[in-house]
Amino acid sequence: MTLFWLVGAVAAAAVIAWVLRPLLARKKAAPPSRAAANVAIYRDQLRELDADLAAGTLAREDYERARAELEARALRDAGQPDAPAAGPAPQALPSGRRFAWALAAAVPLAAVALYVLVGNPGAIDREAQLHASRAQVEAMVGRLEARLRENPDDVNGWKLLGRSYGVMGRYGEAAEAYAKAAVRSPRDAQLLADLADVLAMARGQSLQGEPEQLALRALEIEPGNLKALALAGSAAFERKDYAAAAKHWERMLAYVEPNSEDARSIQQNVAEARSLAGDAGKQETKKQPAKPQGGVRGTVSLSPAMKDKVSPEDTVFVFARAVEGPPMPLAVARVRVRDLPYRFALDDSMAMSPALKLSAFPKVVVTARVSKAGSAIAQPGDLQGASAPVANDAAAVNVVIDAQVR
C-alpha cells in the first residue's frame, strides 16, 4: 500500500501543477531503450549461431569468427547513447474552472490506473533492461579476455579489448590492453594514437608526458594521422605552446574535406591558437601542409580506368624504395583516394627506420598503392602504380595508379 500512496501523491501533485499552470505542454513518452532492443537482437543471433554449430551446418572456425564479429558490433553499440524520441508539437491544455474541477475529480482514478500500471508484472522496467545490457557487454568482454589469455599474440583482440574498456570508462585497463597490442605492433600509428588518448583519460585528462610522446611517435610513422595530430595539438595547447598547437591542427586541414564542418571547426581552433600566440592576422590557414625541404616530390593520380574499382575512403600508400638497396620503404605517406590527385613530398622525416634514410640512396622508385584493407603489405586486388627510377631529390615525379596486384 505504501507504493499506492506514493503514486497517488505524485498524481495529485501533477494535477495541482496542471491546475495552476494550464498552459503547460504535454510531452510524448520516451520509446523503449534502443540499447535493450539491440541486446535482444544480438542474443537471438547468438542463439542462431549456437544452433547452426550444434546442427553441424557451421564449422567451429567459422562459428568462432562469426561470434567474435557479433560481439565486436555489440561492444561498439554499447558505447552509443540511445536516440532521443521525437515528440509531437506541444499542445496547450484547455483552461477554465470547469476543466480544473473535472481534472481534480479524476485524481482517484488516475492514482488507481498508475498503481495498476506500476504493479503490473508485464510492465517494461527500463532500468532492468539497461542492467541486462551492461551485463551482456561485460559477459562479452569476459569472453574476449579469456580468448586473449589463450592467444596473447592476437593484436586485433587486444585492440578490441582496449576499445571495449574505453567505452565502459575503464581507461586504465584500456591503456594496458592497447599497450599489449603496441608491443606486438609497434609501428601501428592509429594504435599509438588510441593508446595516447585512453592514457590521457586515465591520468586525469592530461596529455602531458607519455601521452604526448605517443602521439608524436604516431606522427613520425604516419604524418597524416588525424587523431595523432589532434592530440599533439591539444597537448601543445594544454601547456600553452599555442604556436605549436596551431601548427599541428593546421596540418589536419590537408586530410579533411574543404569547407566541411570538420574543416571549419579546425580552422576556428587554429585561429584561436594563433590569436593566443600573438600571430593573429599574420598567417592564413593553409589547405596543404608545408612542403619539407629536399626529398622527392611529385603527383600521384588515379587512372580513369580504375575509378570504378575504388571508393573515396580507400587508403593510399605513397612510398619510395631504393633502386639498389633494401626492399624496405625509405619514406612513406598515407592518404585517401578522395585526396587524389595528391601532391606528395617524401623526405628523411618520413623514414621507416632511422638507419635507412632517403638521402642515403641516390636512386629511388616512387610507388603508390590503393589498399582496401588499409594494410601496407600488398594484397591481391590492390591497385598500384610506380615511377621510373629517379634521383632522391627529383621534383615533378608523376605516378599513375593503373595496375591491379595479382
| pLDDT (0 to 100) of residue 88 | 37
pLDDT per residue as tens digits for the range 313-367: 999 999 999 998 888 888 888 899 999 999 999 988 887 666 778 888 999 999 9
Query: Which of these, 368, 360, 362, lies nearest to 392 by C-alpha position?
Result: 362
Strand partners, 302: 401
| pLDDT (0 to 100) of residue 387 | 95
Contact predicate 49/66, CB 8 Å: yes
Q: Which of 41-55, 239-253, 333-347 has the lowest mean pLDDT?
A: 41-55
Spatial distance between the Cα atoms of 174 and 159, rounded to a whole number of angstroms: 9
The mean per-residue pLDDT over the stretch 15-34 comes to: 47
* Average model confidence (pLDDT) across the chain: 76
| pLDDT (0 to 100) of residue 368 | 95
Spatial distance between the Cα atoms of 161 and 386, rounded to a whole number of angstroms: 39
Query: Which of these, 148, 155, 62, lies nearest to 375 by C-alpha position?
Result: 155
| pLDDT (0 to 100) of residue 8 | 52
Residue 120, pLDDT above cutoff 50: no
More confident call, 54 vs 372:
372
The mean per-residue pLDDT over the stretch 272-299 comes to: 65
| pLDDT (0 to 100) of residue 384 | 94
C-alpha cell belonging to residue 289: 601542409
| pLDDT (0 to 100) of residue 372 | 84
Kindly state the percentage of the chain with pLDDT values over 70: 67
Residue 142, pLDDT above cutoff 60: yes
Residue 94, pLDDT above cutoff 60: no
